[in-house]
Amino acid sequence: MKLFLRTVAAAALLVGGPAAAQTYPEKPIRLIVPFNQGGLTSNSARVMVKAIEDNDLLPVPIIVSYIPGAAGTIGARQVKDSEPDGHSALIWHVAANGAQAMGNVDFGPDDFKLVAGTDRQCYMLVVREESEYQTLPELLEAAKANPDTIISADNLGGANHIASVLAEDSLPGARFRHVQFGGTAKTYPALLGGHAEVNATSTSSLSSTSTNGLRVLGYMGPERHPDYPDVPTFHELGYDTEFCMYSWWFMPKDTPEDRVATFRDAMVKAMETDYLREQSVVHGVEHVILTGDELKSAMETEKAKISAIGARLRGE
Amino acid sequence: MDAFLSATGHILTPAPLFWCFLGVALGAIVGAIPGLSGSMLITMTVPLTFFMGSYYDALILLVAMYVGSVSGGLVSATLLRMPGTPSSIMTTLDGYPMAQRGQVGRALGLGITASFVGGLISWVFLIGLSPTLAVWATYFGPWEYFTMVLMALVLIASLSQGSMAKGLLAGFLGMLASMPGVDPSTGMLRLTFGFDSWAGGFSLLPVLLGVFVVSQVLKYIIDAERPVLRIAASNEGIFMSLADWKRQATNLIRSSVIGTWIGILPGIGASIGSICAYTAAKNLSKTPEKFGTGIDDGVVASEAANNATIGGALVPLVTMGIPGSVIDAILIGALLMHNLQPGPLLFVTNPEVPYTIISTHLIANCMMLVVMLLSVKWMSKLILVPTAYLMPIILMFCLIGSYSLQNRPFDVWVTLAFGVIGFVLEKVKVPLAPFVIGFILAVLAESELRSGLMASAGSITPLFTRPVAALFLTVSIFMLVWSFWSDSRGARLRKRDLVE
């Protein structure tokens, strides 16, 4: 019934739109998820939309569309080229910087209006339980002594690859052999089966496998993760390495600032609900929403890291 | 065990039983309509499940839809030679000729029963051996994947029905069509010719719909003047006789085991399970030349295997929390949104959840058997519907289906373009099945081989030193040589017949 009423309301708004041209939002907002259903990004989008709608934080429904493919660039391009009236939005992640840094597309975060950053999750370096490497320094020293022999299970060009490259960079001279396996569904069995030795994984992927059969060597966050109190951070071990990923929320570049603010306020209020708090725990992500200067600096940090790596990988 | 019994007990009460029935029925209908696929149905249903009282009922509905959708595809594959879902491509090869001979009831009956047996056998593995199988599956690395796919690829050479050159040509064209888009091994774009819309490559569904469905619609439009053959459809033979069971027992078990195993391996779908089982059945058969002409074994192998992949794909889901198939990934997303973290801990924290999935798989399978066998009478009427009414409806579903895959018109153009390609190929008597098999398998073979080569720093020795990979490679070579030999022998025999 509620769904029905909402549909009627949406239809009424659509019809009555032109009369109240100055109001925003005047019609349903289309949120594009540039990935397949089922992944973390699609879930982040869905739970945010549910929290906004259940608490009536925006007067219109938000319609989630999946436009997957090519690391999210296909769906992102659609939002980039949409009418900048605040009725189209995009959720993307580190690939926003990655795709540009790898030279696959000629646009990046600068070609959008950045609304917010949510769901922080930092990366961890894991090996299987039977691995001879007990600690991070042992692993990195071995990768330095015999460079290009220890296999890292990666999705080349993707976030776990970037994290793995940053991890080896913590010790100058250390080099893994980066091999294409894919996402967690492929890298986790590859580690267990001994096809690869090491893998960089996000806390959200790790929580789905419950570290079964794996040993976590180091955490790439600023301080220890509450769920893994025994795992040292890279900083503690003397390596100046940090890599965290966010869900970035974008709108087309020329969207008026007041409309962006309306949408952002709804997101901020949604984040305060118990529902989203619970969901963050289940998904294994940190319950944060970045706005303002914090948001800018987080994006700048990510861009700097990724473009440096992109340049190096393309040069190789 | 207690958790299993209580989960099963819960499903066997009226409301959950109704959800299970609804799921199977909707799944089967959507599966039977070319263009609409199980993953679309489940994607659309997930948000609706929030309005359901308990997440158990939500899970029951979703798993039942999964079972129904893989089974439903056989109906259109058999009656119209249009695979309703990608997993029933191989069923078109023998199911359709069989139906054309008038054995409609028998073709459908065989397919449905084989689906049931496949589901049942995979369920036995799921409940009995899940943890063990999940560990075994990790033994498969890039080299094993590559050689396994290679075995299935070799099937192209023996699927050509007459001219091997044409079969191989179709296979290579299919492989070529799968190349544009993101390079699976490096993430870089390739062969996109500067078109942004090509960045995602051509997806399987639009290609499949084009080649198998739109091409037939075109053929119908162009050949409309010709009188349509009226088939005297007979509903006899829906139930397999004792002699059938005896003849097909080995095939059923073998195909189900192959299907289950391929289901367990992540990233390899139901269509590949069915291709591999068909390959095995054909190569181990005493009458391989009859495959593709409407032989029982072909239908049984394909349908037993594709349903068995469901149980297989649920193994890594319940034991490791990783998806064995696209639909599993959606199921994981649904679990998360219902505040449940999938994975091994689920057996400890919420044992009813994995056991609800497992029991639903069993009960949905039984329900599928009953529902589908009982509706054969109506389903087979489909073949009597005048094509002039059927084709526009099917075409419409195809275009809607391809659009809704990624919500962009590009896929609709892909569907239509491959429709023309499929039509032209048929005109010049180039078979379509090798085209689609090449399309599905090439990228998989390529990315696994390249992963293996990256891991071994460019050396191919693991092909010979890893026992399973070496075994698969030997079988592939043997199959290839054998199909060339039997092809040239067939040509010699035909020549001699002509001379005499």
Helix (H) or strand (E) holding A138: helix A136-145
Q: Name chain A contacts of B345, Cβ cutoff 8 Å.
A: 210
Cβ–Cβ pairs < 8 A, chains A and B: 158
CB contacts under 8 A, B 380-439 vs A, are: 406-408
**Contact assessment for residue A87 and residue A29, using Cβ atoms and an 8 Å cutoff:** yes
pLDDT of residue B249: 94
Is the pLDDT confidence value at A18 over 50? no
pLDDT, residue A20, reads 42
CB-CB neighbors (< 8 A) of B339 in chain A? 278-279, 282
Torsion angle of the four alpha carbons A204, A207, A208, A209, in this order, in degrees rounded to the nearest 10 = 130
Q: Do B454 and A179 touch (CB under 8 A)?
A: yes
Q: What is the pLDDT of residues B204-240, one digit of tens each?
A: 889 999 999 999 899 888 876 555 555 666 677 888 8
Average pLDDT over residues A34-42: 80
How many angstroms separate the CA atoms of B127 and B444, rounded? 29
Contact at CB, A102 and B188, closer than 8 angstroms: yes
Q: Is A315 exposed, middle or buried (0-12, 13-18, 19+ CB in 10 A)?
A: exposed
pLDDT reading at A16 higher than 80: no
pLDDT given at position B431:
87
Q: Tell me, what's the pLDDT at B500?
A: 53
Yes or no, beta carbons of B343 and A3 under 8 Å apart? no
Alpha helix ranges (H) inside B101-184? 104-137, 142-158, 164-177
In the structure encoding, which two tokens stand for residue B106, read together?
């028998």
In this prediction, residue B497 carries a pLDDT of: 63
Contact B419, B34 (CB under 8 A): no
SS (H, E, C) B296-358: HHHHHHHHHHHHHHHHHHHHHHHHHCCCCCHHHHHHHHHHHHCCCCCCCCHHHHCCHHHHHHH
Residue B444, min C-alpha distance to chain A (Å): 12
Q: How far apart are CA B279 and CA B472, in angstroms?
A: 13
Q: Who among A68, A156, A184 is closest to B322 (CB)?
A: A184
The residue with tokens 């991070």 is A136
Q: Which of A77, A181, A209 comes nearest B321 by C-beta?
A: A209
H or E element at residue A64? strand A62-66
For B347, other C-beta atoms within 10 Å of its C-beta total 16
Burial A179-205 (b: 16+ CB within 10 A, else e): bbbbbbbbbbbbbbbebbbbbbbbbbb
Whether pLDDT at A186 is above 80 = yes
Q: What is the DSSP letter of B365?
A: H
Q: Residue B472's closest CA among B140, B147, B138, B136?
A: B147
Task: Check if B221 contacts A (Cβ < 8 Å).
Answer: no
| % of chain A with per-residue pLDDT over 70 | 91
A185 vs chain B: nearest CA distance in angstroms?
A: 5
| Segment-wise mean pLDDT, segments of 10 residues, chain B, 500 residues | 84 92 94 86 83 84 94 91 89 92 90 96 92 85 92 77 81 94 82 86 90 90 65 74 90 95 84 91 87 92 95 87 80 79 75 90 95 86 79 90 85 95 92 89 91 94 94 90 77 64
CA distance B184 to chain A (A): 8
Q: How far is CA B75 from CA A43, B373, B380, B383, in A?
A: 34, 11, 8, 10
Report the amino acid identity of residue A146. N
Instruction: Return the DSSP state at A285.
Output: -
The domains located in chain A, with CATH, are: 2-10+27-120+244-315 (3.40.190.150), 122-219 (3.40.190.10)
Token pair for A297: 């600096």
| Contact between A36 and B326 using a beta-carbon 8 Å cutoff | yes
Whether residue A190 has pLDDT greater than 50: yes
From chain A, pick out residues whose CB is under 8 angstroms from the CB of B51. Answer: 3
Confidence grade of residue A13 (pLDDT, cut at 50, 70, 90) = very low
